Structure 1
Amino acid sequence: MDKSSTIYIAGHRGLVGSAILRELEKSGYKNLIHRSSTELDLRKLDQVQDFFEHHHIDYVFLAAAKVGGIVANNDFPADFIRDNLLIQTNVIDSAYRAGVKKLMFLGSTCIYPKFAPQPMKEEYLLTGELEPTNKAYAVAKIAGITMCQSYNHQYGTKFISVMPTNMYGPNDNFDLKTSHVLPALIRKFHEAKEAGAPYVEVWGTGQPRREFLHADDLAEACIFLMENYEDSEIVNVGVGEDIAIRELAELIQHIVGYQGELAFNTSKPDGTPRKLADVSKINTLGWKARISLEDGIRSAYLAFRKEYLVNN
């Protein structure tokens, strides 16, 4: 990419897309295109085709997706598989037909088997059963990866696929019905502190381990890979370290300043026991995460207080 390239960021209002947009602007890219979902419904093929036909787009960051936490994935699997298949199929095919130079497809480490060896290497894809609670989402993302690889093979495109671990940061989703664990805990602890509640409920046993990557780190990685990587094989993006949910809850409790107790609701699902990405591939290419989890959560809590509380 050069600074005059026309770059389309699909999903620019979301956690990942907004971070990519900020990083591109900071890096001096001037010709950036984005549309809200009301302006352009990526689930509608005619709208997507018309958009690509009327804009000479060089590069695409496909960060648009229907995403959610364990509850949303478990309760609305049809929505997750349908919407994600439609979005990625329409954008990938339209990008090919419009002659886009390069496209990056954003997936997730939930594509890996539930009991994959840890840390999870890229080659573990499709080697075992998926986690049932987010199977629909994972299957959609695996289809997107396969579509990019297939277009590269048949049409000679340069479509790459990136698999970030659990994300957090500015523009996160703090809705307790659909959010992921980290933003959900930030909101729970803040509201409990404000209300003087005696305890905060944490779902599950607290034993599963998760890896958390700040959206600003992912944005840097995405631009680095767009400029330096052209293989069809997927690339993990993460920090290479994980933390138990109990430890995460205690860290957020400390940062928020909540003085009450933790109550683990073991009737709620734990999900995958451990999910740690092997990031040796991207590290070898020359990129490494720089934001510590504590610093990242502090900035995420500040963003929550500035963004979410002002608007709700």
Structure 2
Amino acid sequence: MDSYRVLLNGITIPSIGFGTYKLGDESETIDAIKCALKIGYRFIDTASFYGNEEGIGKGIKESGVNREDIFLSTKVWNDSHGYDKAIKSFEESMRKLDIDYLDLLLIHWPTELNSETWRAFEDLYELGKIRAIGVSNFKIGHLEALKKTARIMPMVNQIEIHPCFSQKELVNYCNNYKIQVIGWSPIMKGQLLEVPLMMDLAEKYNKSIAQIALRWHIQKGIIPIPKSSHCGRMTDNIDIFNFELSEEDIRKIDNLDRNEKVSDTPPNTTYDNFKW
């Protein structure tokens, strides 16, 4: 795998990642991480909320892959917002992952304490403890509000994105400000497997529906982070760099957008209601 994208600060990030939400117990997590790294994934995405940071740290160590060759991301959960709590959450994640630097730290969901939490991120970044900082599930309003107090703009916005929820306006905004979009739930929790167009395209390109969806992300400049605990599916998901969707087929997939989320918004966020 030799395809990367470049963040606003010049740091490179692999153009596909491995998602780890609900991977399972520690043993399963360790095995999944080792398998993903063996196959060729070099971007591992986790979060304090997932409860698997220790397993991921162990999996990385047992994989034999050099730490500097891995791009590792984690997130601060909603109950750890605010300057001091965010610092503490970061330190706890570092302890659990058993690492001495982090590649990317994200605010998991927006809350009313975004600016205070972000100030902690900026300080950690300027101290060299994190190579890049960003946000997750931020809408345009959240980013505009953050812009008023931020010294450093987010380098990443990780959001739910798939053909049926393509978030075009938000993606265009992020592109204009050179904020790299990372897409979670890129295969729509398997629901894309039932979409006739995706079936037709899979047959046309002799690829799986998941591979068609992930290739769509890649060609849109979005980094997908598919999740699987099965090595066979992990292998299929990363095997998307040997074909290209036509512009016409990209447009057909774009037209599947119906603003349909497949996730719920957790409580104590300002995702649905802004209070500026």
Could you say which TM-score interval applies, normalised by the shorter chain? Answer: 0.3 to 0.5
TM-score normalised over the length of structure 1: 0.30
Pair member with larger Rg: 1
